[in-house]
Amino acid sequence: MMSMKDIQDAFNTNYGFDNLKEKSREYIKNIVADSENNFLAEVFEDSSKRHELNNFVIEYSKTYLIINKCLGENPSFRIVFDFINPDSGYSEYAYEIEYNILGEFLDEFFLKV
């Protein structure tokens, strides 16, 4: 039987995880930089709030493996980044990017923590 550590190592190798994690971080930074022209403009109607996001530290948090789905759908995974407020040092938002079993983009979620 594989240990959780073996599963993690296999996952990291098969998906080129360090590279995928860095590409995901860059994707999020681009979303924040262009917040006037994407869904963040609806989330934060006040443009000063959108601008404040540029000051937050975007830090990798964790990866969720989504397996054994109820409808027999293929497994997927989500890479989660926290938005750390530079003044408080606490996470205020999380950005999750979901990828399919092939490592292709599926969906994204911006959440208030």
Q: Would you write out the chain's pLDDT as a tens digit for each of its 113 residues?
A: 889 999 999 999 999 999 999 999 999 999 999 998 999 998 888 888 888 999 999 999 999 999 887 777 899 999 999 999 999 999 999 999 999 999 999 999 999 99
Residue 43 to residue 88: CA distance in whole angstroms: 21
Q: Within 13 Å, how many C-alpha atoms sit on residue 109's CB side?
A: 12
Do 81 and 58 contact (CB within 8 A), yes or no? yes
Establish how many alpha carbons lie within 13 A of residue 57's alpha carbon, considering only the half-sphere containing its beta carbon: 11
pTM of the model: 0.90
